[in-house]
């Protein structure tokens, strides 16, 4: 795809397809969001910040982990979370799930069965994140970089991407700040970067097309990571590869609301979208979209083209909002990385996003609002 994408192409990315207004809205069962009851935080020793950021995150999975569901006794352990403060101190907060027996039937409900992972057997494992022709678009120009939804994408100083989910919070991938054992070196003074188009930062108008956007960096005052990421083996913890960053100051840009991820059949066009800062296109915001290939209870499998640096991007879809009676873009997952899926002796590779389940929605919502009563419905 040439870098000089046509203006018409960009406009089509911003405007809702006409067919959406003609589609009969889906009638999925409303998401049953549980309530998390946090306990008093326990102080921990200070982090050593000894880990190295791993932007090219790859895992392996077989049929047992693809069909795995969480066990009841693991719930409270995995939903506990660490909080890292700007001064390097840490706390651990354990939680209970209120009315756990009432929610069990809803918490582990799987997406609608699909016809099984697709693709031909691959005997040689060649890691890749671009599938066929590169289907990514560079987002350029003030009219697009500052327009929703592209304006919700931000840079993370460790080399990843994040998405604005409130006036002061950024959702990203956990592996961007923590390797499962310790926080990465760059998390000691973690920052979030907001793109500033050339025309706004003082560059002459006739030079803006050749200039790349500048970045305004804002310090992070608090980082939260689920214990499910910290304590689990790599193939398990990918299910919990998400973290929330709280900015020191509120921003003034539009943010994207969270939603419990519906089945892909209930997404407009059955597509997902995300924008990130891929490492092979430095300084550029890159957008892509693609259909969902497969779904497990915790992951979304797809072939959206992506490169390292896109990790942590907010994966969104057009979800039907009953209260507004229209299709709305909502964050339904976090782009994690690449996974080899071995089913019936065949190896298939996918790019993978962590799906926002009812439990994860309740946890992230509590992190954002600090009040569990604000998080009892999607």
The tokens describing 319, both together, are: 């979800």
Does 275 participate in catalysis according to the annotation? no
Q: Among 151, 237, 311, 313, which one carries the catalytic annotation?
A: 311
194-200 LR contacts (CB < 8 Å, sep 24+): 194/154, 194/155, 194/218, 194/251, 194/253, 195/145, 195/153, 195/154, 195/155, 195/285, 197/141, 197/142, 197/145, 197/146, 199/142, 200/142
Q: Among 10, 169, 175, 178, which one carries the catalytic annotation?
A: 175
The tokens describing 339, both together, are: 């996974």
Cis bond leading into 149, ω under 30°? yes
Burial class (CB in 10 A: 0-12, 13-18, 19+), 8: exposed
Does 32 participate in catalysis according to the annotation? no
Burial class (CB in 10 A: 0-12, 13-18, 19+), 325: exposed
Does 311 participate in catalysis according to the annotation? yes
C-alpha 108/C-alpha 298 separation (Å) is: 9
Residue whose tokens read 């020191």: 248
Per-position DSSP letters for 69-110, written without gaps between them = ---GGGHHHHH-EEEEETTS-EEEE-EEEETHHHHHHHHTPP
Q: Among 142, 235, 280, 321, which one carries the catalytic annotation?
A: 235
C-alpha 195/C-alpha 162 separation (Å) is: 12
Question: Could you tell me which of 195, 199, 201, 248 has the C-alpha nearest to residue 221?
Answer: 248
C-alpha 260/C-alpha 107 separation (Å) is: 11
Active-site residues, by number, are: 175, 235, 311
């Amino acid at each position: 795809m040439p870098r000089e994408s046509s203006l018409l192409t960009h406009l089509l990315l911003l405007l809702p397809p006409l067919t959406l207004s003609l589609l009969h809205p889906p009638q999925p069962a409303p998401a049953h969001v549980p309530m998390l009851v946090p306990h008093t935080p326990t102080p921990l020793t200070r982090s050593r910040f000894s880990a190295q950021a791993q932007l090219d995150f790859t895992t392996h999975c077989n049929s047992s982990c693809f069909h795995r569901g969480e066990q009841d006794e693991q719930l409270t352990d995995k939903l506990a979370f660490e909080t890292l403060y700007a001064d390097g101190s840490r706390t651990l907060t354990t939680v209970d799930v209120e009315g756990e027996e009432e929610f069990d039937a809803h918490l582990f409900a799987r997406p609608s069965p699909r016809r099984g992972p697709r693709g031909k057997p691959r005997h040689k494992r060649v890691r890749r994140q671009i599938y066929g022709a590169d289907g990514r678009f560079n987002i350029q120009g003030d009219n697009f970089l500052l327009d929703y939804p592209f304006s919700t994408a931000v840079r993370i100083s460790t080399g990843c991407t994040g998405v604005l989910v409130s006036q002061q919070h950024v959702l990203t991938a956990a592996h961007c700040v923590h390797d499962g054992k310790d926080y990465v070196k760059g998390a000691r003074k973690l920052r979030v970067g907001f793109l500033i188009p050339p025309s706004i930062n003082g560059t002459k108008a006739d030079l803006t097309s050749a200039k790349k956007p500048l970045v305004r960096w804002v310090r992070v005052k608090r980082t939260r990571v689920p214990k499910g990421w910290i304590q689990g083996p790599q193939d398990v913890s990918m299910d919990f590869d998400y973290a929330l960053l709280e900015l020191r100051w509120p921003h003034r840009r539009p943010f994207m609301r969270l939603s419990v991820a519906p089945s892909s059949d209930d997404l407009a066009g059955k597509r997902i979208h995300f924008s990130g800062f891929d490492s092979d296109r430095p300084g550029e915001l890159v957008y892509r979209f693609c259909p969902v290939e497969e779904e497990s209870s915790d992951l979304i499998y797809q072939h959206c083209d992506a490169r390292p640096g896109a990790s942590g991007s907010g994966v969104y879809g057009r979800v039907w909002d009953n209260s507004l009676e229209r299709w709305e873009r909502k964050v339904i997952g976090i782009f994690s990385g690449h996974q080899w899926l071995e089913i019936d002796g065949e190896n298939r590779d996918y790019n993978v996003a962590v799906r926002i389940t009812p439990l994860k929605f309740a946890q992230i919502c509590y992190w954002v609002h600090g009040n569990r009563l604000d998080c009892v419905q999607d």
